[in-house]
Amino acid sequence: MTREPSDQELMAGLQQRDHQALALLYDRYARSVYSLALHILRDQAAAEDVTQEVFLQLWRQPERYAHERGPLGPWLLRVTRNRAIDLLRRSGRERRPPYADARGVDFHLADPSPGPDEHAWSSTVATRVQAALGELSDTQRQVIELAYFRGLTQREMADVLGLPLGTVKTRVRTALRRLAEILTRDGVWTDVG
């Protein structure tokens, strides 16, 4: 049985313009990227475009990812979130309600007509993400929900929560680190370095 290359090995391959490395990273993370984009945009074509843009950026500028700042998976989701929210703002779409608890969010976000393997994978990841959110403190979960599921900027979160911007920034940073630790521990992210 051959060992799967780590994210770091694949990123090194991208630096050398290795198409196979990009293909392996795409296979590893495209579903998560697409699912997040679809959840934010609620439009399949737009989510597909964002997914393509994220991986195209990774191919063109692999140096933008800094291993020292954390695992590749959460970084890709941050890039995805930012692109999706930028697209929402450019299109002038109406924003969702300011806050709702993510425990009521449907986490089955993948392709609406998945095959059995994709359905099983999506269900497993959804369960793990819900469990990971459950392990966060209330304040950590709150900022993750506002940022990732409602698409609010940190300044907008500060306004909604009535907190100083610096406090919100610290909470987001802490929550993302903790969520990455949990998802890495649970095997959702395959490589922490």
- What per-residue confidence (pLDDT) applies to 126? 64
Q: Which of 14-23, 33-42, 70-79, 116-125 has the highest mean pLDDT?
A: 14-23
- For residue 127, give every residue at least 6 positions away whose Cβ sits within 8 Å of its Cβ, in sequence order, or none: none
| Statement: residue 134 has pLDDT above 90 | no
- What per-residue confidence (pLDDT) applies to 109? 37
- Which region among 14-28, 67-81, 115-129 has the lowest average model confidence (pLDDT)? 115-129
**Confidence category of residue 124, pLDDT binned at 50, 70, 90:** low
Q: How far is CA 132 from CA 135, 141, 146, in A?
A: 5, 9, 16
| CATH number for the domain formed by residue range(s) 7-185 | 1.10.10.10
138: left (phi over 0), alpha (psi -120 to 50) or beta: alpha
Whether the CB-CB separation of 179 and 136 falls below 8 Å is answered with yes
**Confidence category of residue 177, pLDDT binned at 50, 70, 90:** confident
Cα–Cα distance between 53 and 11 in angstroms, integer?
A: 17
Other Cβ atoms within 10 Å of 127 Cβ, number? 12
Give the rounded percent of residues in the chain with a pLDDT score beyond 90.
35
Of residues 119 and 147, the one with the higher pLDDT is: 147
Per-domain residue ranges of the chain: 7-185
Token pair 């697209």: residue = 87
Residue type, 110: A
Whether the pTM exceeds 0.85: the reply is: no
Q: Which of 47, 8, 46 is nearest to 28 (CA)?
A: 8
Of residues 164 and 150, the one with the higher pLDDT is: 164
Cα–Cα distance between 153 and 157 in angstroms, integer?
A: 6
43-87 confidence digits (pLDDT tens): 889 999 999 999 999 999 999 998 887 889 889 988 998 899 888
- Which region among 5-9, 70-74, 89-93 has the lowest average model confidence (pLDDT)? 89-93
**DSSP label of 146:** I
- What per-residue confidence (pLDDT) applies to 38? 85
